[in-house]
Structure 1
Amino acid sequence: MPKVNEEHFAARRRQILDAAAACFAREGFHRTSMQDIVQESGISAGLIYRYFTGKDDMIAAIVAEWHERRTLMLGDDPAAGYLAVLRGVGDPAAAAELRLAVQVWAETVRSPRIRDLARDNVDRPRALAAAALDGVVPDPDALARVLIAIYQGLVVQTLWDDTVDHAAFARAVAALLAPLGLDPAQPGRDGDEQEQRGER
Protein backbone atom coordinates (compact mmCIF):
# COMPACT_ATOMS: atom_id res chain seq x y z
CA MET A 1 0.00 0.00 0.00
CA PRO A 2 1.50 3.43 -0.95
CA LYS A 3 2.53 5.59 1.99
CA VAL A 4 -0.12 8.24 1.29
CA ASN A 5 -2.82 5.56 1.39
CA GLU A 6 -1.40 4.15 4.64
CA GLU A 7 -1.45 7.62 6.20
CA HIS A 8 -5.00 8.22 5.00
CA PHE A 9 -6.10 4.85 6.35
CA ALA A 10 -4.48 5.55 9.73
CA ALA A 11 -6.05 9.03 9.92
CA ARG A 12 -9.53 7.71 9.12
CA ARG A 13 -9.13 4.89 11.62
CA ARG A 14 -8.01 7.37 14.28
CA GLN A 15 -11.00 9.60 13.52
CA ILE A 16 -13.42 6.71 13.94
CA LEU A 17 -11.81 5.41 17.13
CA ASP A 18 -11.76 8.87 18.73
CA ALA A 19 -15.44 9.32 17.90
CA ALA A 20 -16.33 5.87 19.22
CA ALA A 21 -14.38 6.42 22.44
CA ALA A 22 -16.10 9.77 23.00
CA CYS A 23 -19.53 8.19 22.48
CA PHE A 24 -18.78 5.19 24.69
CA ALA A 25 -17.44 7.38 27.50
CA ARG A 26 -20.42 9.74 27.29
CA GLU A 27 -23.34 7.36 26.75
CA GLY A 28 -22.03 3.94 27.69
CA PHE A 29 -21.19 1.03 25.44
CA HIS A 30 -24.66 -0.42 25.04
CA ARG A 31 -26.50 2.89 24.74
CA THR A 32 -24.20 4.03 21.94
CA SER A 33 -25.46 3.12 18.49
CA MET A 34 -23.48 2.95 15.29
CA GLN A 35 -25.48 5.96 14.16
CA ASP A 36 -24.16 7.89 17.17
CA ILE A 37 -20.61 7.08 16.05
CA VAL A 38 -21.47 8.10 12.47
CA GLN A 39 -22.70 11.48 13.71
CA GLU A 40 -19.77 11.99 16.08
CA SER A 41 -17.17 11.11 13.44
CA GLY A 42 -18.80 12.73 10.42
CA ILE A 43 -18.02 9.58 8.44
CA SER A 44 -20.68 7.53 6.66
CA ALA A 45 -21.76 4.20 8.12
CA GLY A 46 -20.69 2.38 4.98
CA LEU A 47 -17.16 3.77 5.28
CA ILE A 48 -16.96 3.01 9.00
CA TYR A 49 -17.82 -0.62 8.32
CA ARG A 50 -14.87 -0.77 5.93
CA TYR A 51 -12.62 -0.18 8.94
CA PHE A 52 -14.48 -1.95 11.75
CA THR A 53 -17.05 -4.73 11.87
CA GLY A 54 -18.91 -3.13 14.78
CA LYS A 55 -18.64 -1.74 18.29
CA ASP A 56 -16.82 -4.79 19.68
CA ASP A 57 -14.15 -4.36 17.02
CA MET A 58 -13.71 -0.71 17.99
CA ILE A 59 -13.44 -1.54 21.69
CA ALA A 60 -10.84 -4.19 20.86
CA ALA A 61 -8.79 -1.62 18.93
CA ILE A 62 -9.05 0.92 21.77
CA VAL A 63 -7.95 -1.65 24.35
CA ALA A 64 -5.02 -2.69 22.14
CA GLU A 65 -3.85 0.93 22.05
CA TRP A 66 -4.05 1.07 25.85
CA HIS A 67 -1.67 -1.91 26.01
CA GLU A 68 0.92 -0.10 23.95
CA ARG A 69 0.63 3.14 25.92
CA ARG A 70 0.83 1.44 29.33
CA THR A 71 3.87 -0.57 28.24
CA LEU A 72 5.63 2.63 27.14
CA MET A 73 4.75 4.37 30.42
CA LEU A 74 6.25 1.54 32.48
CA GLY A 75 9.48 1.86 30.48
CA ASP A 76 12.76 0.54 31.86
CA ASP A 77 11.86 1.32 35.49
CA PRO A 78 8.56 -0.39 36.34
CA ALA A 79 8.37 1.13 39.83
CA ALA A 80 8.72 4.73 38.60
CA GLY A 81 6.48 3.99 35.62
CA TYR A 82 3.83 2.52 37.90
CA LEU A 83 3.77 5.64 40.07
CA ALA A 84 3.53 7.77 36.93
CA VAL A 85 0.50 5.73 35.87
CA LEU A 86 -1.11 6.29 39.30
CA ARG A 87 -0.51 10.05 39.10
CA GLY A 88 -1.85 10.07 35.56
CA VAL A 89 -5.20 8.76 36.76
CA GLY A 90 -5.80 12.21 38.25
CA ASP A 91 -5.18 14.06 34.97
CA PRO A 92 -8.47 15.76 34.00
CA ALA A 93 -7.69 14.90 30.37
CA ALA A 94 -7.91 11.21 31.32
CA ALA A 95 -11.46 11.41 32.73
CA ALA A 96 -13.21 10.11 29.61
CA GLU A 97 -10.71 7.26 29.29
CA LEU A 98 -11.31 6.26 32.92
CA ARG A 99 -15.07 6.08 32.34
CA LEU A 100 -14.47 4.01 29.24
CA ALA A 101 -12.02 1.73 31.08
CA VAL A 102 -14.61 0.81 33.71
CA GLN A 103 -17.15 0.07 30.99
CA VAL A 104 -14.62 -2.16 29.24
CA TRP A 105 -14.04 -4.03 32.50
CA ALA A 106 -17.78 -4.60 32.78
CA GLU A 107 -17.92 -5.74 29.16
CA THR A 108 -15.39 -8.50 29.89
CA VAL A 109 -18.17 -10.41 31.66
CA ARG A 110 -20.16 -10.56 28.41
CA SER A 111 -17.55 -10.75 25.68
CA PRO A 112 -14.77 -13.38 25.71
CA ARG A 113 -12.88 -11.36 23.10
CA ILE A 114 -12.87 -8.22 25.24
CA ARG A 115 -12.05 -10.28 28.33
CA ASP A 116 -8.99 -11.77 26.61
CA LEU A 117 -7.80 -8.33 25.53
CA ALA A 118 -8.36 -6.89 29.01
CA ARG A 119 -6.54 -9.84 30.54
CA ASP A 120 -3.60 -9.18 28.25
CA ASN A 121 -3.67 -5.56 29.39
CA VAL A 122 -3.23 -6.87 32.95
CA ASP A 123 -0.98 -9.86 32.32
CA ARG A 124 1.78 -8.02 30.49
CA PRO A 125 2.39 -5.31 33.14
CA ARG A 126 1.91 -7.98 35.81
CA ALA A 127 4.73 -10.00 34.27
CA LEU A 128 6.97 -6.91 34.21
CA ALA A 129 6.20 -6.16 37.85
CA ALA A 130 6.71 -9.77 38.90
CA ALA A 131 10.08 -9.84 37.14
CA ALA A 132 11.15 -6.65 38.95
CA LEU A 133 10.05 -8.15 42.29
CA ASP A 134 11.64 -11.55 41.71
CA GLY A 135 14.02 -12.29 44.57
CA VAL A 136 12.65 -9.32 46.54
CA VAL A 137 9.47 -10.90 47.92
CA PRO A 138 8.45 -14.54 48.37
CA ASP A 139 5.62 -14.40 45.83
CA PRO A 140 6.29 -11.68 43.25
CA ASP A 141 3.27 -12.52 41.11
CA ALA A 142 0.91 -12.12 44.06
CA LEU A 143 2.36 -8.69 44.90
CA ALA A 144 2.16 -7.70 41.24
CA ARG A 145 -1.56 -8.53 41.34
CA VAL A 146 -1.94 -6.39 44.47
CA LEU A 147 -0.30 -3.44 42.70
CA ILE A 148 -2.63 -3.84 39.73
CA ALA A 149 -5.61 -4.00 42.09
CA ILE A 150 -4.41 -0.73 43.65
CA TYR A 151 -4.46 0.89 40.22
CA GLN A 152 -7.90 -0.49 39.38
CA GLY A 153 -9.25 0.63 42.75
CA LEU A 154 -7.84 4.12 42.23
CA VAL A 155 -9.60 4.37 38.86
CA VAL A 156 -12.94 3.53 40.48
CA GLN A 157 -12.34 5.87 43.44
CA THR A 158 -11.43 8.68 41.04
CA LEU A 159 -14.73 8.28 39.19
CA TRP A 160 -16.67 8.26 42.47
CA ASP A 161 -14.79 10.88 44.47
CA ASP A 162 -13.57 14.24 43.20
CA THR A 163 -11.45 14.77 46.33
CA VAL A 164 -8.91 11.99 45.67
CA ASP A 165 -5.36 13.38 46.00
CA HIS A 166 -3.48 11.41 43.37
CA ALA A 167 -0.06 12.80 44.26
CA ALA A 168 -0.57 11.78 47.89
CA PHE A 169 -1.87 8.40 46.75
CA ALA A 170 1.28 7.82 44.68
CA ARG A 171 3.49 8.88 47.62
CA ALA A 172 1.69 6.40 49.87
CA VAL A 173 2.28 3.60 47.37
CA ALA A 174 5.94 4.67 47.06
CA ALA A 175 6.24 4.36 50.85
CA LEU A 176 4.87 0.83 50.61
CA LEU A 177 7.40 -0.08 47.93
CA ALA A 178 10.43 1.54 49.58
CA PRO A 179 11.03 -1.19 52.22
CA LEU A 180 11.26 -3.71 49.38
CA GLY A 181 14.43 -2.01 48.16
CA LEU A 182 12.77 -0.55 45.09
CA ASP A 183 13.54 3.03 44.12
CA PRO A 184 10.27 4.49 42.85
CA ALA A 185 11.39 8.12 43.06
CA GLN A 186 11.17 10.09 39.83
CA PRO A 187 11.54 13.76 38.80
CA GLY A 188 7.85 14.63 39.06
CA ARG A 189 7.81 13.85 42.76
CA ASP A 190 9.81 16.96 43.72
CA GLY A 191 7.23 19.09 41.97
CA ASP A 192 4.46 17.44 43.94
CA GLU A 193 6.26 18.18 47.20
CA GLN A 194 6.82 21.81 46.17
CA GLU A 195 3.14 22.17 45.39
CA GLN A 196 2.24 20.85 48.84
CA ARG A 197 4.53 23.45 50.44
CA GLY A 198 2.85 26.20 48.41
CA GLU A 199 5.92 26.93 46.31
CA ARG A 200 3.89 26.89 43.11
Structure 2
Amino acid sequence: MREVDEANTEAKRRMVIDAAVRCLARNGVAKTSINDICREAGMRSGHLYYYFENKDALLAAVMLRNHDRTIETIEHMLDGGDLISQIVDVHVQAEAGRLAYGLTPAVRIELECYFSRLPEGEQSRATSSDRLLDAMRSAAHNAVAAGRLPGDLDIEGFVSAVALIWQGLSFSRLSPEFDIDEMRRTVRLLMEPWLSATGAAR
Protein backbone atom coordinates (compact mmCIF):
# COMPACT_ATOMS: atom_id res chain seq x y z
CA MET A 1 0.00 0.00 0.00
CA ARG A 2 2.84 2.37 0.87
CA GLU A 3 4.46 1.85 -2.55
CA VAL A 4 1.13 2.64 -4.19
CA ASP A 5 0.80 5.83 -2.11
CA GLU A 6 4.34 6.91 -2.98
CA ALA A 7 3.75 6.23 -6.67
CA ASN A 8 0.53 8.23 -6.54
CA THR A 9 2.25 11.11 -4.76
CA GLU A 10 5.05 11.14 -7.34
CA ALA A 11 2.50 11.09 -10.17
CA LYS A 12 0.71 14.07 -8.61
CA ARG A 13 4.00 15.91 -8.19
CA ARG A 14 4.76 15.40 -11.89
CA MET A 15 1.25 16.61 -12.77
CA VAL A 16 1.78 19.79 -10.72
CA ILE A 17 5.20 20.37 -12.34
CA ASP A 18 3.64 19.98 -15.80
CA ALA A 19 0.92 22.46 -14.86
CA ALA A 20 3.54 24.91 -13.57
CA VAL A 21 5.52 24.65 -16.81
CA ARG A 22 2.43 25.47 -18.87
CA CYS A 23 1.69 28.50 -16.67
CA LEU A 24 5.29 29.68 -16.86
CA ALA A 25 5.27 29.39 -20.65
CA ARG A 26 2.12 31.55 -20.82
CA ASN A 27 2.75 34.09 -18.06
CA GLY A 28 6.42 34.05 -17.11
CA VAL A 29 7.84 33.48 -13.64
CA ALA A 30 6.85 36.76 -11.97
CA LYS A 31 3.22 36.62 -13.12
CA THR A 32 2.62 32.95 -12.31
CA SER A 33 0.94 32.41 -8.94
CA ILE A 34 0.23 29.30 -6.90
CA ASN A 35 -3.48 29.85 -7.65
CA ASP A 36 -2.73 29.87 -11.39
CA ILE A 37 -0.89 26.57 -11.08
CA CYS A 38 -3.64 25.00 -8.95
CA ARG A 39 -6.25 25.96 -11.54
CA GLU A 40 -4.09 24.56 -14.32
CA ALA A 41 -3.57 21.33 -12.38
CA GLY A 42 -7.28 21.05 -11.57
CA MET A 43 -6.80 21.03 -7.81
CA ARG A 44 -8.15 23.14 -4.98
CA SER A 45 -6.21 26.23 -4.07
CA GLY A 46 -3.74 25.34 -1.34
CA HIS A 47 -3.84 21.58 -1.99
CA LEU A 48 -0.58 22.02 -3.87
CA TYR A 49 1.24 22.57 -0.57
CA TYR A 50 0.85 18.86 0.18
CA TYR A 51 3.33 18.24 -2.65
CA PHE A 52 5.53 21.36 -2.51
CA GLU A 53 6.38 23.58 0.44
CA ASN A 54 5.99 26.83 -1.52
CA LYS A 55 6.25 28.35 -4.97
CA ASP A 56 10.05 28.43 -4.86
CA ALA A 57 10.21 24.71 -4.05
CA LEU A 58 7.93 23.99 -7.00
CA LEU A 59 9.98 26.16 -9.36
CA ALA A 60 13.14 24.41 -8.17
CA ALA A 61 11.52 21.07 -9.01
CA VAL A 62 10.73 22.41 -12.48
CA MET A 63 14.38 23.34 -12.94
CA LEU A 64 15.75 20.06 -11.59
CA ARG A 65 13.46 17.66 -13.43
CA ASN A 66 15.62 15.13 -15.31
CA HIS A 67 18.67 16.53 -13.45
CA ASP A 68 19.88 13.09 -12.30
CA ARG A 69 19.62 11.75 -15.85
CA THR A 70 21.67 14.70 -17.11
CA ILE A 71 24.32 14.08 -14.44
CA GLU A 72 24.60 10.45 -15.55
CA THR A 73 24.93 11.52 -19.18
CA ILE A 74 27.68 13.99 -18.30
CA GLU A 75 29.63 11.35 -16.36
CA HIS A 76 29.89 9.30 -19.58
CA MET A 77 30.04 12.13 -22.11
CA LEU A 78 33.70 11.51 -23.02
CA ASP A 79 33.54 7.70 -23.28
CA GLY A 80 33.36 7.53 -27.09
CA GLY A 81 35.44 8.63 -30.04
CA ASP A 82 34.41 12.11 -31.22
CA LEU A 83 34.66 14.02 -27.96
CA ILE A 84 33.64 17.38 -29.40
CA SER A 85 30.39 16.00 -30.80
CA GLN A 86 29.72 14.32 -27.47
CA ILE A 87 30.12 17.62 -25.62
CA VAL A 88 27.46 19.16 -27.87
CA ASP A 89 25.31 16.02 -27.68
CA VAL A 90 25.03 16.31 -23.89
CA HIS A 91 23.51 19.77 -24.32
CA VAL A 92 21.22 18.51 -27.09
CA GLN A 93 20.00 15.56 -24.98
CA ALA A 94 19.43 17.71 -21.88
CA GLU A 95 17.53 20.28 -23.94
CA ALA A 96 15.41 17.57 -25.58
CA GLY A 97 14.49 16.27 -22.12
CA ARG A 98 13.43 19.74 -20.98
CA LEU A 99 11.46 20.44 -24.15
CA ALA A 100 9.70 17.08 -23.82
CA TYR A 101 7.82 18.46 -20.81
CA GLY A 102 7.52 22.00 -22.17
CA LEU A 103 10.41 23.82 -20.48
CA THR A 104 11.64 26.20 -23.17
CA PRO A 105 15.09 27.87 -23.13
CA ALA A 106 13.45 31.25 -22.45
CA VAL A 107 11.58 29.99 -19.37
CA ARG A 108 14.63 28.12 -18.07
CA ILE A 109 16.82 31.21 -18.34
CA GLU A 110 14.10 33.26 -16.63
CA LEU A 111 14.08 30.70 -13.81
CA GLU A 112 17.87 30.88 -13.51
CA CYS A 113 17.61 34.67 -13.12
CA TYR A 114 14.78 34.33 -10.60
CA PHE A 115 16.75 31.97 -8.36
CA SER A 116 19.94 34.00 -8.64
CA ARG A 117 18.17 36.82 -6.77
CA LEU A 118 17.16 34.61 -3.83
CA PRO A 119 19.72 33.77 -1.12
CA GLU A 120 18.30 30.28 -0.61
CA GLY A 121 17.79 29.92 -4.35
CA GLU A 122 21.39 30.78 -5.02
CA GLN A 123 22.49 28.07 -2.57
CA SER A 124 20.29 25.48 -4.27
CA ARG A 125 21.50 26.63 -7.67
CA ALA A 126 25.13 26.40 -6.53
CA THR A 127 24.58 22.84 -5.27
CA SER A 128 23.06 21.87 -8.61
CA SER A 129 25.92 23.52 -10.50
CA ASP A 130 28.50 21.77 -8.28
CA ARG A 131 27.00 18.39 -9.16
CA LEU A 132 27.24 19.18 -12.87
CA LEU A 133 30.84 20.37 -12.56
CA ASP A 134 31.83 17.32 -10.49
CA ALA A 135 30.32 15.05 -13.16
CA MET A 136 32.31 16.90 -15.83
CA ARG A 137 35.52 16.59 -13.80
CA SER A 138 34.93 12.86 -13.40
CA ALA A 139 34.35 12.47 -17.16
CA ALA A 140 37.51 14.46 -17.97
CA HIS A 141 39.68 12.49 -15.50
CA ASN A 142 38.41 9.20 -16.93
CA ALA A 143 39.12 10.40 -20.49
CA VAL A 144 42.66 11.44 -19.53
CA ALA A 145 43.26 8.06 -17.86
CA ALA A 146 42.01 6.28 -21.00
CA GLY A 147 44.20 8.43 -23.28
CA ARG A 148 41.27 10.16 -24.97
CA LEU A 149 42.38 13.53 -23.60
CA PRO A 150 45.98 14.82 -23.23
CA GLY A 151 47.71 13.71 -20.04
CA ASP A 152 48.74 17.28 -19.23
CA LEU A 153 45.24 18.67 -19.76
CA ASP A 154 44.21 21.50 -17.42
CA ILE A 155 41.08 19.75 -16.09
CA GLU A 156 39.60 22.83 -14.42
CA GLY A 157 40.19 24.96 -17.51
CA PHE A 158 38.62 22.28 -19.71
CA VAL A 159 35.58 21.94 -17.44
CA SER A 160 35.11 25.73 -17.34
CA ALA A 161 35.32 25.89 -21.14
CA VAL A 162 32.70 23.15 -21.55
CA ALA A 163 30.38 24.84 -19.03
CA LEU A 164 30.67 28.14 -20.90
CA ILE A 165 29.95 26.42 -24.21
CA TRP A 166 26.79 24.85 -22.76
CA GLN A 167 25.67 28.22 -21.39
CA GLY A 168 26.30 29.81 -24.77
CA LEU A 169 24.30 27.10 -26.51
CA SER A 170 21.41 27.69 -24.11
CA PHE A 171 21.31 31.42 -24.84
CA SER A 172 21.79 30.82 -28.57
CA ARG A 173 18.61 28.76 -28.59
CA LEU A 174 16.64 31.94 -27.92
CA SER A 175 17.30 32.97 -31.51
CA PRO A 176 14.89 31.70 -34.19
CA GLU A 177 17.95 31.29 -36.45
CA PHE A 178 19.59 28.81 -34.07
CA ASP A 179 21.37 26.08 -36.06
CA ILE A 180 22.80 23.21 -34.01
CA ASP A 181 25.04 22.05 -36.88
CA GLU A 182 26.58 25.51 -37.13
CA MET A 183 27.06 25.45 -33.36
CA ARG A 184 28.84 22.09 -33.65
CA ARG A 185 31.28 23.61 -36.14
CA THR A 186 31.87 26.59 -33.84
CA VAL A 187 32.42 24.35 -30.81
CA ARG A 188 34.89 22.26 -32.81
CA LEU A 189 36.90 25.38 -33.65
CA LEU A 190 36.93 26.35 -29.97
CA MET A 191 37.75 22.91 -28.55
CA GLU A 192 40.23 21.47 -31.06
CA PRO A 193 43.26 23.13 -29.42
CA TRP A 194 42.42 21.26 -26.19
CA LEU A 195 42.13 17.92 -27.91
CA SER A 196 44.58 17.94 -30.80
CA ALA A 197 47.42 16.42 -28.77
CA THR A 198 45.66 13.04 -28.72
CA GLY A 199 43.98 13.27 -32.11
CA ALA A 200 40.62 13.16 -30.32
CA ALA A 201 39.30 16.18 -32.22
CA ARG A 202 38.27 14.52 -35.42
Give yes or no for contact 2:76–2:139 (8 Å, CA) kept in 1: no
Matched letter for residue 166 of structure 1: I
| Identity %, equivalent residues | 24
Q: Residue 177 of structure 2 corresponds to which residue in structure 1?
A: 163
Shift of 1:52: 1.1
Aligned counterparts of 1:90 and 1:9: Cα–Cα separation in 2: 26
Return the match for 2:90 from 85, 105, 114.
85
3-state secondary structure, aligned to 1:96: coil
Structure 1 unaligned regions, length at least 5: 186-200
TM-score using structure 1 length = 0.77
What are the superposed Cα offsets for residues 78-104 of structure 1, whole Å, 9 maximum, x if unpaired?
A: 446532133347759727332222012
Distance 1:103 1:132, change over 3 A: same
Return the match for 2:123 from 116, 119, 138.
116
Aligned counterparts of 1:10 and 1:40: Cα–Cα separation in 2: 18
Shift of 1:33: 0.9
Structure 2 unaligned regions, length at least 5: 145-149
Give yes or no for contact 2:38–2:44 (8 Å, CA) kept in 1: yes
Q: Residue 74 of structure 2 corresponds to which residue in structure 1?
A: 74
3-state secondary structure, aligned to 2:30: coil
RMSD of equivalent CA atoms:
2.8
Q: Residue 197 of structure 1 corresponds to which residue in structure 2?
A: none
3-state secondary structure, aligned to 2:104: helix
| Corresponding residue pairs, total | 184
What are the superposed Cα offsets for residues 30-68 of structure 1, whole Å, 9 maximum, x if unpaired?
A: 110111101111111232111112210102222332421
